[in-house]
Amino acid sequence: MVEFLTKYPKTMSFLDGKSDKVKVDTKGVEQLTIVVKKSVEEMLKIFSNEGFTHVKFEHKQETQIGSGLSLKLKKPWEMHVRLLEMKKGLVAIQAEVEVSRDYLQHLFCQRTPVFYEIETLLKKHQIEYKIWNERIRKYVNTVLDNYKVKLTTPSFPVLAWKPMVYVISTIGVLYLFKYLMTV
């Protein structure tokens, strides 16, 4: 298994000349939002072309548009992207990296917001964007420095839940059959 290494904006300056730091607390790193002037349909098409697929089960956010998207990274990691409503004509994008939904550890493992991975994708498709800080309620002018973020692989080996369901179901059916044969 591999660790996931990235960087994330730490200190930002705003159009009014003031600067502030992205907050880090026990819940993790404060989420920054990327805002684009594109339609949801255009963004979904771009993400689909980049290999993202729709997420079936997720905790939807209040302003989330449709289902989230995910992209498998190096095992066991995946990137989860949500498109959110902003003002008319603007779409907000939030992304995080977490243990893949294919594993039980997804339910309780570390996750972190990501920024530069989405920025790279937008630059590749020549899409202009702005960075929105919800806590301060301002657009970011410049990122001055970054946090180095390291997600470590779970200490307990990741367990794929789909094969486990198959095995448990098969054993359950066999024991049910055995019980019915003795009645």
Of residues 30 and 167, more confidence is placed in 30
What is the domain partition of the chain in residue ranges?
4-182
What is the pLDDT at residue 178?
A: 79
| pLDDT tens readout for residues 47-86 | 999 999 998 877 787 888 888 898 988 888 889 999 999 8
Q: What is the mean pLDDT of the chain?
A: 84
Instruction: Give pLDDT, residue 33.
Output: 95
Arithmetic mean of pLDDT, 81-103:
86
Q: Is the pLDDT at 113 greater than 70, yes or no?
A: yes
pLDDT band of 167, cuts 50, 70, 90: low
pLDDT on residue 138: 93
Residue 84 Cα distances to 20, 70, 90, 176, angstroms: 24, 15, 9, 47
pTM: 0.78
The label of the residue with tokens 């054993």 reads 171
